Amino acid sequence: MNQPHILHPASRPVKLVLEDGTEWTGWSFGSETAMAGEVVFNTAMAGYPESITDASYRGQILVLTYPLIGNYGVPGKQREHGMLKFFESENIHISGLIISDYSFDFSHWNADQSLSEWLKEFNIPGIYGIDTRTLTKHLREEGAMLGKIVFDEDIPFINPNVINLVDQVSTKEVIRYGKGKFRILLVDCGVKNNIIRCLLRRDTEVIRVPWNFDFQSVEYDGLFISNGPGDPKQCRETIANLHHAIQGDKPIFGICLGNQLMGLAAGGDTYKLKYGHRSHNQPVLQVGTNKAYITSQNHGFALDDSTLPEGWKPLFRNLNDDTNEGIMHVSKPFFSSQFHPEASSGPTDTEYLFDDFIEKIKNHKN
């Protein structure tokens, strides 16, 4: 057990138990609620409000490697375009939060409440006083694994990857944003708010539809497939609808899970990474060039681009492990990125991909 800098008198001892039998003991903050999920780590130095509200973390217990968390609190709930301005969705999606040292005192011009208060609001447990460096090394060596946060009574492990998590986080109704020139049909598999913001800044009307929405009869200028949680093969309806869409020639852009779904719709295959990519410093190379970008990422599955049929090719590759980071069609205006060009949080070096998408729409319309 790693002794924290400050032990709050109201904190209770709490355990993180991994499926390999290892146990990690710390102190509680947030809700004193037992919770189970898949334990993963993120090496970003900032951006915990954005990460915690990213639907791609649904069903996961998140380990943050940066040593001090909570020091700038949680932003206020101002809205823009009907969405929370400083969050990536309406809800907290993680199943639990594991950190080294929790800052009970917070300070920021936009802070509205503490991280602990926010977690309690959504009934999510947190643990501080854990040696997150050692825990992360363990997960890197053994791979992401199931875990549970336990207070008094034991609970069973839960494997989120056998559940259709996308169905849990996707919108249940059609939502419209903006009144721009270009109509974007956005298939919501767990979309981050900043993706919608990036599209709206480019003279668009965004029509957000459920993950299993049959969009074949809808008029649109460009099709967008969002990020989201879990195993992409759970999204059978999305894959079937996408397979039909790629028979046409209207521009398509996918991000993160959207990249994997496009690959599956084209006839390729996906697989689970040992411990995934979750950070702000993932280097990617644009295939066929010497251009490298530092990107924000959050995914546990990857597309095997060697299984893609003729007519498709990789667009980006990860410079750390050579995994796929995006694909494109050789003759049609279809492309994707495994990383997050909208960032939030993280580097914005690749936001130009939204401009490329709009340019493809313009060319297609002309």
Active site residues: 256, 340, 342
Determine the Cα–Cα distance for residues 153 and 363; give it in Å rounded to an integer. 60
Q: Which of 35, 92, 112, 103 is nearest to 67 (CA)?
A: 103
Instruction: Show the tokens assigned to 267.
Output: 């006839």
Determine the Cα–Cα distance for residues 238 and 217; give it in Å rounded to an integer. 15
SS3 assignment, position 198? helix
197 φψ region: left (φ > 0), alpha (ψ -120 to 50), beta (else): alpha
Q: Name the phi and psi angles at 45, rounded to 5.
A: -95, -15
Cis peptide before 226 (omega within 30 of 0): no
* Residue 193 parent element (H or E): helix 193-200
Determine the Cα–Cα distance for residues 307 and 72; give it in Å rounded to an integer. 45
Residue 4 is classified by DSSP as P
Beta strands in 226-342 (DSSP E): 252-255, 269-286, 292-304, 312-318, 324-329, 334-337
Determine the Cα–Cα distance for residues 217 and 118; give it in Å rounded to an integer. 42
| Half-sphere exposure for 67 (CA within 13 Å, toward CB) | 8
Determine the Cα–Cα distance for residues 71 and 291; give it in Å rounded to an integer. 36
What separation in angstroms does the CA of 20 have from each of 160, 250, 251?
17, 48, 45
